[in-house]
Amino acid sequence: MIRAAFKTVLSEIETAKKAARRSGDSVTLVAVTKTFGVDAVRVALECGQRVFGENRVQEAKSKWPELKKEFPDIELHLIGPLQSNKVKEAIALFDVIESVDRDKIARLLAQESEKQAKQLKFFAQVNTAQEAQKAGISPKEARTFVRRCTHDYGLKIEGLMCIPPVEEPRAPHFALLHKIADDLGLTSLSMGMSADFSEAIKLGATHVRIGSRLFGRR
Ligand SMILES: *Cc1c(COP(=O)(O)O)cnc(C)c1O
């Protein structure tokens, strides 16, 4: 089932890329394995998948250290909110942190990267709908925040990430994220999940985070 799902999703990604005239490796599939166990991950690895996403540090710690030893080319993304007391573990385990969403975390991530001498990639999470309960910096503050990360904390932000509200049309959120990234000269855009990745690719996504379409219901 997972194998067939990978085939379908990869071909839908190709179709969306063609429609948007996007080139060969311009879109990375981040396979989101939260709540799924090592068995599911192994099937994905057999399909050739190497880029994965987890939303909790604790859960990721129980799953990935061994697998990463076995497959050194795995790239693991943290896509969920990060608490300051988990920064050390996050830097040790992940390769990309997509959810940099506030000053304190940015500062700690920079400090801890230096301490561990690790070069991760970082995305700033933007709360495009300005929902009170959702993580992310507001679109208005994005520019200042990204600048502060780079200049004050020494944390190089490579791109932006967003999670639009489920009940709203996605296109305006994807377009807004793209515009903010363009303004800041950032080229990576993590947007689009199982329900809307084709639309996200048409609007410029470079990373799509897909869970349930690949692994089933959670
Ligand atoms: C769970 C999750 C996904 C994947 O969601 P699906 O709808 O299962 O594809 C993507 N991004 C984030 C931040 C998530 O937490």
Helix axes 139-148, 103-116, angle to 10 degrees: 30
Query: Which ligand 1 atom sits nearest the alpha carbon of residue 30?
Result: 10
Give the pLDDT band of residue 119 (cuts 50, 70, 90). Answer: very high
CA distances from 196 to 7, 13, 16, 174, 181 (A): 17, 11, 11, 10, 20
| pLDDT of the residue at 24 | 83
Q: Which parts of the chain fold into alpha helices (H)?
A: 2-19, 38-46, 57-70, 87-93, 103-116, 139-148, 171-184, 197-202, 212-215
Confirm or reject: Cβ of 210 under 6 Å from ligand 1. yes
* Distance from Cα 193 to the centre of ligand 1, integer Å: 6
Residue 23 has pLDDT above 90, yes or no: no
Q: What is the residue type of 45?
A: L
Confirm or reject: Cβ of 164 under 6 Å from ligand 1. no
Q: What percent of the chain has pLDDT over 90?
A: 96
| pLDDT of the residue at 211 | 98
φ, ψ of residue 58 to 5 degrees: the values are -60, -45
Give, using CA atoms, the residue closest to atom 10 of ligand 1.
209
Residue 128 has pLDDT above 90, yes or no: yes
Confirm or reject: Cβ of 34 under 6 Å from ligand 1. yes
Confirm or reject: Cβ of 26 under 6 Å from ligand 1. no
Confirm or reject: Cβ of 163 under 6 Å from ligand 1. yes
Q: What is the pLDDT of residues 28-76, one digit of tens each?
A: 999 999 999 999 999 999 999 999 999 999 999 999 999 999 999 999 9
Give, using CA atoms, the residue closest to atom 13 of ligand 1.
79
Confirm or reject: Cβ of 136 under 6 Å from ligand 1. no
Closest by CA position to 30, among listed 72, 66, 75: 75
Q: What is the pLDDT of residues 63-114, one digit of tens each?
A: 999 999 999 999 999 999 999 999 999 999 999 999 999 999 999 999 999 9
| pLDDT of the residue at 203 | 97
Query: Which ligand 1 atom sits nearest the alpha carbon of residue 34?
Result: 1
Residue 25 has pLDDT above 90, yes or no: no
Give, using CA atoms, the residue closest to atom 12 of ligand 1.
79
Q: What is the pLDDT of residues 156-167, one digit of tens each?
A: 999 999 999 999
| pLDDT of the residue at 89 | 98
